[in-house]
């Protein structure tokens, strides 16, 4: 990874107070345009209008040009833009995509700003870790989302379960109690590998690890096998297919149609459930995925976005200021409440109190993780060996044998 180059001799001064080496924006009567690429659907039109109006008011001489991009095909588009001489000034990228862009040496290293101005020590780990490459911070956390348990309060009450479980063992016991009432305790598809990842991390395992500069699969370690063993126990308490993921069939639709007490999904799935069965609107609740002890919730995969600044950004200093604003308390609070996201800092979890689903998500995000920070991880997911591994174990194959086979396929993909 190339070392960062200081933009000018005054770079030791805060870049958030300057708009480059020279005049502040507007001092010479001209305006500067900061081009920001954001992904369609990440923020509402109303939020973007509020942010743009406030930022331009507080920064005379600066105009924001927010350009919405589609997720489909975005990888190639960002890579091309980074290599060009007229790159956007700020780009939103998926948190697990940073490594593939950072390997181009075309992302600006924001470590200094992260430590000095952006509250790096408070960032939720599932956004902070993917943005950190070879000791440099190239992605600034923007927003996150992760899975929780969506449950039927009425079916819990019928089984005598008075409150959501706080430990894995209690979770199993409560689910078994629900089954004894004739309802289905949980619907957990056999290939929900994001949920499995959390159980593996809880046990101290990994999906893949870096050894001597080379990434290798790690599903066959004792810790990872323990995570799969718990998944197998939980999955056996429902009748979900062992050879399909949560989208085949869509679990929200299955949950809406039957007497099913729980699914594991982002809180937004509740809207899909209610769309198929409006009568469930008042019966749904949320709780964080339980951990091994009651002291903290279980680990979860964190999805979300980070903000990056290209090396070739024409308005780099002002771009960093825009990132600081979007990642700061005021606009993080607004975005989280508007979009029901987890804010980027653990210290901001309280801003979503009162929103049961988002609050449960924020509690889990404190132990959030992301997929291995390899620039080739997308190649693993393209032909994901974790899914058939899970099906093989759930159908009775020796877990170690199946895990070794899947780990080798991960190693091959990352190598």
Per-residue confidence band for 9, with pLDDT thresholds at 50, 70 and 90: very low
pLDDT, position 31:
86
Local structure of residue 352 (DSSP, 8 states): G
For residue range 187-221, what is the model confidence (pLDDT) as tens digits? Answer: 999 999 999 999 999 999 999 999 998 999 999 99
DSSP of 181-195 = TTSBS----TT-HHH
| pLDDT at position 29 | 55
Is the torsion defined by CA of 341, 342, 347, 350 positive or negative? positive
For the segment 326-338, what is each residue's pLDDT rounded down to a tens digit? 999 999 999 999 9
**Lowest-pLDDT range, 10-14, 55-59, 119-123, 398-402?**
10-14
Q: What is the pLDDT of residue 322?
A: 98
pLDDT tens digit string along 381-394? 999 999 999 999 99
**Across 114-261, where does the E strand assignment appear?**
132-133, 136-137, 140-146, 148-152, 208-211, 214-217
State the chain's mean pLDDT as an integer: 92
Rg from Cα positions in the chain: 23
Residue 39 DSSP SS3: strand
Q: What is the pLDDT of residue 16?
A: 38
Asked whether the predicted pLDDT for residue 12 surpasses 90, the reply is: no
Query: What is the distance between the terminal CA atoms of the chain, rounded to a whole angstrom?
Result: 19
Q: How, if at all, do strands 90-94 and 32-39 pair?
A: parallel
Token reading at 377: 């991880």
What gap in Å lies between CA 191 and CA 103, rounded to an integer?
31
- Candidates 308, 307, 379, 320; CA nearest to 104 is 308
CA-based diameter of the chain, in Å? 76
Q: How many helices and strands (H and E) does the chain possess?
A: 17, 13
In 3-state terms, the chain is what percent helix, strand and coil (to 5)? 45, 20, 40
Percent of the chain whose pLDDT exceeds 70: 93
Which pTM does this prediction carry?
Answer: 0.89
User: Tell me, what's the pLDDT at 119?
Assistant: 85
Please state the φ and ψ torsions of residue 144, each to the nearest 5 degrees: -140, 160
Q: Is 29 left (phi over 0), alpha (psi -120 to 50) or beta?
A: left
User: Computed from CA positions of residues 187, 338, 71, 140, in that sequence, does the dihedral angle turn out positive or negative?
Assistant: negative
> What is the pLDDT, as a whole number, of residue 116?
86
Residue 287 has pLDDT above 50, yes or no: yes
The gap from C-alpha 347 to its chain's centroid, in whole angstroms, comes to: 17
Spell out a b/e string for 267-290, using b for 16 or more CB atoms within 10 Å of the CB, else e: bebbebbbeebeebeebbbbbbbb
Smallest Cα–Cα separation from 168: which of 7, 287, 305?
A: 287
* Gap between the Cα atoms of 342 and 253, Å rounded: 25
Q: Which of 10-19, 172-181, 243-252 has the lowest mean pLDDT?
A: 10-19
DSSP 76-140: HHHHHHHHSTT--SEEEEEGGGHHHHHTTT-B---HHHHHHTS-GGGB-HHHHTTTEETTEE--E
Tens of pLDDT, residue by residue over 332-367, are 999 999 999 999 999 999 999 989 999 999 999 999
pLDDT in the model for residue 207: 98
CB 136 within 8 A of CB 4: yes
Query: 59: which 2 tokens?
Result: 């920064």
Residue whose tokens read 């893949």:
208
pLDDT in tens, 289-321: 999 999 999 999 999 999 999 999 999 999 999
pLDDT at residue 1, rounded to an integer: 45
Domains defined along the chain, listed by start: 32-146+302-369 (3.40.190.10), 148-299+374-414 (3.40.190.10)
Is the pLDDT assigned to residue 20 strictly greater than 70? no
pLDDT higher than 60, residue 255: yes
Containing 69, the helix (H) or strand (E) segment is: strand 62-69
């Amino acid at each position: 990874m190339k070392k960062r180059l200081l933009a000018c001799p005054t770079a030791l001064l805060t870049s958030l107070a300057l708009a480059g080496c020279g005049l502040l924006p507007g001092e010479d009567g001209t305006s500067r345009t900061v081009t920001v690429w954001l992904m369609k659907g990440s923020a509402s039109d109303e939020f973007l209008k509020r942010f743009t109006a406030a930022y331009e008011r507080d920064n005379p001489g600066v105009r924001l040009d927010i350009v919405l991009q589609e997720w489909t095909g975005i990888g190639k588009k960002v890579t091309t833009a980074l290599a060009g001489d007229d790159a956007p000034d700020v780009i939103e990228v998926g948190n697990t995509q940073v490594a593939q862009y950072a390997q181009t040496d075309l992302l600006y290293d924001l470590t200094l700003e992260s430590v000095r101005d952006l509250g790096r020590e408070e960032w939720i780990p599932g956004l902070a870790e993917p943005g950190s490459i070879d000791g440099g911070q190239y992605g600034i956390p923007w927003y996150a989302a992760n899975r929780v348990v969506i449950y039927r309060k009425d079916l819990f009450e019928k089984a005598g379960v008075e409150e959501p479980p706080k430990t894995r063992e209690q979770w199993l016991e409560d689910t078994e109690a629900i089954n004894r009432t004739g309802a289905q305790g949980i619907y957990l598809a056999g290939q929900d590998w994001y949920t499995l990842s959390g159980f593996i991390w809880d046990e101290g395992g990994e999906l893949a690890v870096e050894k001597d500069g080379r990434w290798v699969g790690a599903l066959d370690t004792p810790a990872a096998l323990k995570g799969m063993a718990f998944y197998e126990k939980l999955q056996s308490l429902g009748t979900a297919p062992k050879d399909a993921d949560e989208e085949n069939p869509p679990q929200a639709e299955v949950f809406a149609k039957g007497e099913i007490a729980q699914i594991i999904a982002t809180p937004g799935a509740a809207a899909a459930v209610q769309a198929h069965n409006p009568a469930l609107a008042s019966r749904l609740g949320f709780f964080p995925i339980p951990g091994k002890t009651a002291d903290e919730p279980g680990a979860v995969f964190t999805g979300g976005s980070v903000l990056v600044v290209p090396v070739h950004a024409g308005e780099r200093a002002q771009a960093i200021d825009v990132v600081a604003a979007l990642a700061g308390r005021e606009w993080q609070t607004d975005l989280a409440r508007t979009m029901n996201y987890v804010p980027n800092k653990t210290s901001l979890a309280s801003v979503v109190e009162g929103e049961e689903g988002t609050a449960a998500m924020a509690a889990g995000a404190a132990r959030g993780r992301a997929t291995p920070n390899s620039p080739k991880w997308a190649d693993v997911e393209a032909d994901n060996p974790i899914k058939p591994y899970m099906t093989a174990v759930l159908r009775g194959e020796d877990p170690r044998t199946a895990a070794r086979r899947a780990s080798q396929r991960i190693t091959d993909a990352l190598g």
